[in-house]
Amino acid sequence: MQQVHVRLLDTSGHAVHNGLAMQNLTELTKNDLEAFVADDLKLPRFRTEQIWQWLWQKRVRAIDGMTNLSKPLREKLAGVACITWPKIVTVQKSKDGTIKFLLSLNDGKLIETVLIPMQDRYSQCLSTQVGCAMACTFCSTGKLGFERNLTYGEIMGQILVGRQYLEDHDMNPLKNLVFMGMGEPLLNLDILIKVLTDLPCERGLSLSWRRSVVSTVGFPDKLKILGDLEVALPAISLHAPTQELRARIMPKAAKVHLNDLMAAIKAYPMRQRERITFEYLLLKDVNDSMEQADQLARLVDRKKGKINLIAYNATEGMPYGAPDRDKVEAFEKRLWDHGLTAFIRRSMGADIKAACGQLKAENQS
Ligand code: SAH
């Protein structure tokens, strides 16, 4: 068999075959795959489109399944490359239809991803890091600390797992993505941008980035990069209406002063009728008073912003309680009274601990 020189494009995700490092094809962006096909495999350009389609649209798990490639070509490719997906460790289904996966990566690290049912489709909540460096005091992932960034293939691979599961079970299609799982997406920005860039590829995942939301505690310089690229809409994890309270419950995130964060959001380029979402996690007796609703209303631009209220999912060992239902409703009403758009986000999957980091935290304890 002809030897092919393989350029190592990423140190992760390589299996070794006959002493040669194998290129995990799911780690290659569309551009990387193009270079790999042309420079390393010395194949014509149209092969990129074929291989890309097999990987992302048809979701083959083995190179031999790429049946519009000749047998010798498949053999050549299989000699230097492999296809690796994150492995499913557990699948948990909630009564409300939420499906949560615990996935293991090549180095044994665990992450989670969640499929959330919407009317006629699913939305998938994706992780971007193993653990998280932000250490927000209410968040289970924050408690685990930061381990490492996810690679391109590990983020995209979560979508492959989600889509395959939905197809295998004849369920509604996956159309929306939220980068709201484990980790802080903007601290893995280079990879995030590569993922967002490749999502809409027609012969690939065909997911519109207009239906992708990146949830972040907010970094002005990184928001500027994301905004200039026009590849996603952000949701800002605000959780407090004042700098002082935010510094108390999100000490690392609040190193960016609230005024600077709000200025960055004001400058974020948006099309008409588009709005930036502010996430506000209601913690009992911490940030759920009427006065705090008034402060929040003064902070958020009613034309450019909308507020997602999330009732805290109480977690054992965390110093917070779930807010009373009537307080959550009163808080929402107060925001509407100020002319703001606010919704209480359905808390999904509470029975399977689908809140950020909960399942993994449990598996590790
Ligand atoms: N780091 C990013 C994305 C991950 S967190 C960010 O902070 O936005 C995604 C969301 O889950 C955040 O809004 C966070 O506040 C919320 N969350 C964390 N723990 C939760 C819990 N126990 N109950 C409900 N929501 C939680």
pLDDT one digit per residue (tens) for the chain, 365 residues? 333 444 444 444 455 555 568 999 999 999 999 999 999 999 999 999 999 999 999 999 999 999 999 999 999 999 999 999 999 999 999 999 999 999 999 999 999 999 999 999 999 999 999 999 999 999 989 988 999 999 999 999 999 999 999 999 999 999 999 999 999 999 999 999 999 999 999 999 999 878 899 999 999 999 999 999 988 889 999 999 999 999 999 999 999 999 999 999 999 998 888 899 999 999 999 999 999 999 999 999 999 999 999 999 888 888 999 999 999 999 999 999 999 999 998 766 666 666 555 555 555 53
Of the CA atoms within 13 Å of residue 16, those in its CB half-sphere come to 4
Instruction: From residue 211, give the alpha-carbon distance in Å to each of 142, 200, 317, 326.
Output: 26, 10, 35, 32
Give me the phi and psi of 146, to 5 degrees please. -95, 135
CA distance 130 to 100: 16
Indicate the residue type of 284.
Answer: K
CATH number of 87-364: 3.20.20.70
Structural domain 7-82, CATH architecture: Orthogonal Bundle (1.10)
Burial class (CB in 10 A: 0-12, 13-18, 19+), 355: buried
Burial of 273-292, coded b for 16+ CB within 10 Å and e otherwise, reads eebbbbbbbbbbebbbeeeb
Yes or no: say if 273 and 231 are a contact pair by the CB < 8 Å rule: no
Question: Which is the closest atom of ligand 1 to the Cα of 139?
Answer: 19
- Cβ of 277 below 6 Å from ligand 1: no
Summary count for the chain: helices (H), strands (E): 12, 16
Helix pair angle (220-229, 258-266), 10° resolution: 10
- Cβ of 312 below 6 Å from ligand 1: yes
Q: Check 27, 82, 112, 139 and give the catalytic one.
A: 112
The pLDDT of residue 18: 55
Question: Which is the closest atom of ligand 1 to the Cα of 182?
Answer: 4
Indicate the residue type of 65.
Answer: G
**N- to C-terminal Cα distance for the chain?**
49
CA distance 133 to 102: 20
Give me the residue spans of the domains in the chain: 7-82, 87-364
Contacts of 67 (CB under 8 A, 6+ apart): none
Q: What separation in Å is there between the alpha carbon of 237 and the centre of ligand 1? A: 7
Burial of 194-217, coded b for 16+ CB within 10 Å and e otherwise, reads bbbebbbbebbbebebebbbbbbb
Yes or no: say if 163 and 113 are a contact pair by the CB < 8 Å rule: no
Question: Which is the closest atom of ligand 1 to the Cα of 313?
Answer: 23
CA distance 37 to 39: 6
Q: What separation in Å is there between the alpha carbon of 71 and the centre of ligand 1? A: 48
- Cβ of 355 below 6 Å from ligand 1: yes
CA distance 306 to 6: 49
- Cβ of 297 below 6 Å from ligand 1: no
The pLDDT of residue 355: 59
Q: Check 82, 136, 139, 356 and give the catalytic one.
A: 356
Q: What separation in Å is there between the alpha carbon of 353 and the centre of ligand 1? A: 13
pTM: 0.92
The pLDDT of residue 174: 98
Burial class (CB in 10 A: 0-12, 13-18, 19+), 75: middle
Of 164, 148, 149, 183, nearest to 115 (Cα)? 164
Q: Which residue's CA is minimally distant from atom 17 of ligand 1? A: 356
Q: H helices of 36-114, where? A: 46-52, 71-80
Of 364, 351, 349, 362, nearest to 114 (Cα)? 349
Q: Which residue's CA is minimally distant from atom 18 of ligand 1? A: 139
Say whether 139 is catalytic.
Answer: no
The pLDDT of residue 21: 80
Say whether 125 is catalytic.
Answer: no
